[in-house]
Amino acid sequence: MKTVQMTLDESLVEAVDRAARKLGKSRSAFTRDALREALARERARSLERRHRRGYAHHPVEVGEFDVWESEQVWTER
């Protein structure tokens, strides 16, 4: 692992320390997990933006997915 130095507001450090203690983690472990989660959310948002742009440039045409309806099997129980 690489050690990095960051400048954070005192109140943020205190909140991180409280949350880390509550979860039984070190400040570093809590921060690593939080950064991983933030990166995953950003990746999902980025993919959603990409999909929206794709559909804006190439909208779904009427009936484009109708062929799949005949492939589905619906049973009543």
Print burial letters for 34-73: b (CB count within 10 Å at least 16), e (below 16): eeeeeeeeeeeeeeeeeeeeeeeeeeeeeeeeeeeeeeee
State the chain's mean pLDDT as an integer.
92
Residue 38 in 3-state DSSP? helix
The CA distance from 26 to 32, in Å, is 10
pLDDT tens figures, 56-71: 999 888 888 777 777 7
pLDDT at position 8 over 90: yes
- Model pLDDT, residue 43: 98
Structure pTM?
A: 0.70
**Per the structure block, which two tokens stand in for 66?**
């109708």
